[in-house]
Structure 1
Amino acid sequence: MPDLAAPLSVSNLVLRSKQLEIDAVRHLASRAELVDVIGQLIQGLQRERGASGAFLASKAQRFADMRLRVVEEVGPLETRLREVFAQHIEPAQGATAKALSLMAWALLGMESLPALRTQIERQAMTANDSVAAYSHLIAGLIELVFHVADAAGLPSVSRLLVALLHLVQAEEEAGQERALGALLYASGRSNEAHQQRVIHLIDAQERSLRVFAEFAEPELRVRWEQQQLSPGVAKLERLRRTLCVARPDAALDGDLSDIWFDVCSERINALWHLQVDLVKRLRADCEARILEAQKDLQDSKGLLRGLRDNPPQRTHAVDRFFDMALAPTVVPAPPGGAQAGEPASLVELLQTQTARMASMEAELDAARRTLNERKVIERAKGVLMARLGMNEEVAFRVLQKTSMDQNRRLLEVAEATLSLPDLAFAQQGQRDPKP
């Protein structure tokens, strides 16, 4: 550990920089534990949501024992999350203001669970309202996971977190599908609005899992692909067809509710095991980086040598510009890459000197772009829903159609939507009827 009271020197600055790097990775490792505990509670609440919705839809004829059993299982998970939250409010953990706000929101939701459970036990609310209430709480917990992923600063860790985030999202979409399908089967009647929601959730899962597959390590991707060939998946597809093609208000076999819940749970459990492995890999990656940085910290001469061998990017262009053996070409460009019209030789020099950093930055940028695009699109959907009275599905279709009609990326359409003033939405609302 460098002596902070020592006189200012190159050596002290380099050592302090390496120590800060170690601290940053330790914070990431701590966030991995937070993600793990949040994930366990989310999975428990997902099961409770599904059992509670089916319990109410069947007028307390089904899932009564399962619901009580799951509630007992969730209790210790709530306690454990509170303990981890208490650890993360310490300044040394480096929690952000946003993270602490999301933790507070999650605690508020957990404090409302006893009243919600009492209403369900008394059958004092509808099945749909119970599913919505649990989903509301779970959404806040997922937002906290999202924030943790967005706060990552190392390329390989960012890739793991992007894969993890979309796996968590797919798991929640599968959990919502399980809850709505169990609700429908247990009620004994189809419902067109819920059928449309199930179809939307199936499509959303596929989108989330495509991103997971893109960023996950090959081993995990292959495992998921193999799981897709299991008999349970084929059974789920048959139950999905039965549910989704039924005419509105048509009779459904209530006995299928238990089978539906079981096959959906099998799929969700497979996703959960992938999530557990992803968190383990995240922790292992952090531990490896900490050990590597600690070894570097013991080699002060090596750190100084590395500093001299890797000067700031702009210095290479300046050195070339003032090299008397070479004819000057252009004034060195500002940091951030070659400018239009810059000679190939200068570009090649910069690329050679910064090849390793460029590769890492490209990887990190790809991970960040995926996270940021998701946030922008979700915000644009929210704006359309709030200002034009659209539901989520219609809002997303409007963005997609605009993207295709204008031959623009979905992200660009979302950004343009967010930049529109309120007056534009008011005028659009007068022209177009609400969906």
Structure 2
Amino acid sequence: MPELAAAPLSVSSLLLRSRQLEIDAVRHLASRAALVDVVGQLIEGLQRERGASGVYLASKGQRFADLRGRVVQEVVALEVQLRAEFALHVEPAQGATAKALSLMAWALLGLDSLPALRSQIDKQAMTAHDSIAAFSHLIAGLIELVFHVADAAGLPSVSRQLVALVHLVQAQEEAGQERAMGALLFASGQGSEAHQQRVLHLIDAQERSLGAFAEFADPALRARWEQLQLAPGTAQLERLRRTLGVARPGAALDSNQSDTWFEVCTQRITALWQLQVDLVQRLREDCAALIVQAQQDLQDSTGLLRGLRDNPPQRTHAVDRFFDIAVAPAAVQSPAAGAQGSESASSLLELLRAQSARMASMETELETARRTLNERKVIERAKGVLMARLGMNEEVAFRVLQKTSMDQNRRLLDVAEATLSLPDLAFGHPERKGDKPV
């Protein structure tokens, strides 16, 4: 049975398909923005549950029992919303990637384990540190999903907003971990070098994340963040940070400060959360505006190309104009047709030129955004390599990369890439007791 001949390619089919793909891409991004919105709400709720649970355990059930109960109820409701959102994204029409679906599955696995985790906390059958680690593990997977949405969007016109969003979400999580670790320290009533070092690392990490956010956020959001830095609570937070930073390991800490610490940290996180809400809202509004604009362009393109198809003899003149070649003698066409064809070709040429210039500008924006996201991934991978091969914790691994960068006067990214390129033998392995040197 002979195969049906495929429809021939044409300028019209390619141009219209290009426009339609742009519309599909924006619609997919709008759907993902809705997903990010729900994921962000759940992350914020889990951060509060993590902090309250840490204080509850560190104080041996004396503090935050009521607060923790209220937060758990709120988080359970958000879990239901996220599961419903995940169900929508399984549909093929949503264009979810294999990686996105895998990350959703990982998140569901973590959510399914929450009842058992909460039961252990209720019974005070685990330490505050282990509780914080368990919640942080789940939150990290949800943040990775947000990261993937930004990395896989491929829509340059909103790429800067997505990069700003990723770093803002990361900064909020680092602030949440700082709240939990600091509250644990105050509630326990004594200093711990490991926990204090973790707090200092989280403070430094927040500055890096917020620096990237400020670079890519629009001026209005950046100005709002700079204004929030002047709030009275910021100065109070800095004083409490110094209290934790200078306390000697094992030294007594005022356990009554745990409530104050939790409150001022929450004010900071709430401010970051509000910025995130506004950023996601702007992203969704921009997606809606882009869809409207693309649909209008599609309609205009259809009209122009219909005129071109209605006057077949003028196609050659349109091609000539694309390459700035002189148009054939007017004797081959009627004056009316010549005027109409000339106008149609000129309009189409301007449309294609404008689209070409727009795409070039958008590609530049996309490249900048992708480079920033890639740098973060490379540095995180390099930290992971040091942690796995040399048994370092996250703070020490980052300090090693940072110190090497300063000592060698090289970019942190270059040091991270060099670390990833080293063979296993270059790292060596710490000797165990009883092992003899080779």
Q: TM-score range by the shorter chain?
A: 0.7 to 0.9
Partner Cα distance (1:136, 1:308) in 2 = 62
Structure-2 separation of matches of 1:107 and 1:246: 40
Contact 1:159 1:367 in 2 (8 A): yes
- State the distance in 2 between where 1:303 and 1:153 align: 27
- Distance in 2 between residues matched to 1:220 and 1:190, nearest whole Å: 37
SS, match of residue 294 in structure 1: helix
- Distance in 1 between residues matched to 2:169 and 2:21, nearest whole Å: 30
Alignment map for 1:284-323 (pairs within 5 Å): 284-299=285-300, 300-302=302-304
SS in structure 1 opposite 2:230? coil
Q: Which whole-Å CA distance do the structure 2 matches of 1:395 and 1:239 have between them?
A: 26
Cα distance in 1, alignment partners of residues 35 and 127 from structure 2: 33
Superposed displacement of residue 177, structure 1: 0.5
Q: 1:55-74, aligned counterparts within 5 Å?
A: 55-74=56-75
- Name structure 2 gaps, 5 residues minimum: 1-5, 309-314, 326-352, 432-438
How far apart, CA to CA, are the structure 1 residues paired with 2:55 and 2:23? 49
| 1:334 matched residue in structure 2 | none
What secondary structure does 1:190 align onto? coil
Instruction: Report which stretch shifted further, 12-21 or 200-209.
Output: 12-21
Distance 1:218 1:265 in 2: 25
The worse-fitting range, judged by mean Cα deviation, of 357-366 and 17-26 is 357-366
The yes-or-no answer on 1:179 pairing with 2:151 is no
Q: Measured at CA, do residues 259 and 289 of structure 1 come closer, stay the same or move farther in structure 2, by a change above 3 Å?
A: same
| Partner SS state of residue 119, structure 1 | helix
Structure 1, 172-181 or 352-361: larger mean CA deviation: 352-361
- Matched with 2:33 is 32
Check whether the contact 1:14–1:304 (CA below 8 A) recurs between aligned residues: no
Task: Give 2:406's aligned residue.
Answer: 404
Change in Cα spacing, 1:193 to 1:292, as seen in structure 2 (3 Å) is: same
Distance of aligned partners of 1:302 and 1:244 in 2 relative to their CA distance in 1, 3 Å threshold = farther
Write the distance in 2 (CA, Å) between the matches of 1:13 and 1:229: 53
**TM-score, structure 1 as length reference:** 0.85
Deviation readout 1:122-179 (Å, 9 max, x if unpaired)? 0000010000000000000000000001012222311001000000000000000000
Shift of 1:13: 2.6
On the 8 A contact 1:180/1:198 being kept in 2, the answer is yes
Tell me: CA distance 1:302–1:372, structure 2 relative to 1, closer, same or farther (3 Å): farther
1:379-407 per-residue CA deviation (whole Å, 9 max, x = no partner) reads: 01101110111111121122222223333
| Alpha-carbon distance, 1:9 to partner | 3.5
Q: Which amino acid aligns with 1:60?
A: G
1:254 corresponds in structure 2 to 255
Cross-structure match for 2:142 = 141
1:392 counterpart = 2:394: yes
Spell out, residue by residue over 1:9-40, the C-alpha distance to the aligned partner (whole angstroms, 9 max, x if none).
Answer: 43223212211110011000000001000000
- Counterpart amino acid of 2:29? L
User: Structure 1 residues 287 and 309, CA, compared in 2 at 3 Å: closer, same or farther?
Assistant: farther
- How has the CA–CA distance of structure 1 residues 9 and 394 changed in structure 2, closer, same or farther, with 3 Å as cutoff? same
Distance 1:370 1:72 in 2: 37
Name the structure 2 match of 1:99. 100
Shift of 1:355: 5.3
Q: CA offset at residue 254 of structure 1?
A: 1.1
What letter matches 1:87 in structure 2? Answer: L
Give the superposed CA RMSD. Answer: 2.6
CA distance in 2, matches of 1:209, 1:292: 32
Letter in 1 for 2:419: T
Q: 2-side partners of 1:429 and 1:308: how far apart?
A: 74
Residue 368 (structure 2) aligns with? 366
* Residue aligned with 1:374, SS: helix
- The corresponding residue for 2:434 is none
> Do 2:25 and 2:155's aligned partners in 1 also have CA atoms closer than 8 Å?
no
Question: Superposition pairs for residues 326-341 of structure 1, below 5 Å?
Answer: none
Residue 129 (str. 1) matches residue 137 (str. 2):
no
Rounded to whole Å, the distance in 2 between the matches of 1:305 and 1:166 is 48
Once residues 318 and 206 of structure 2 are traced to their aligned partners in structure 1, the CA distance between those partners, rounded to angstroms, is: 44
Q: Give CA-to-partner distance per residue, 1:67-114, whole Å, 9 cap, x none.
A: 111101111100000000000011110001100000000000000000
Deviations 1:252-310 (A, max 9, x none): 11111111111110100000000000001111111111111101111224469999999
Query: Relative to structure 1, is the Cα distance of residues 352 and 153 closer, same or farther in structure 2, using a 3 angstrom cutoff?
Result: closer
Q: Which residue of 2 aligns with 1:206?
A: 207
Q: How many residues align?
A: 390
Aligned match of 1:263: 264
Distance in 2 of aligned mates of 1:127 and 1:264: 18
Q: How far apart are residue 414 of structure 1 and its match?
A: 1.2
TM-aligned CA deviation for residue 425 of structure 1: 2.2
Matched to 2:362, the amino acid is M
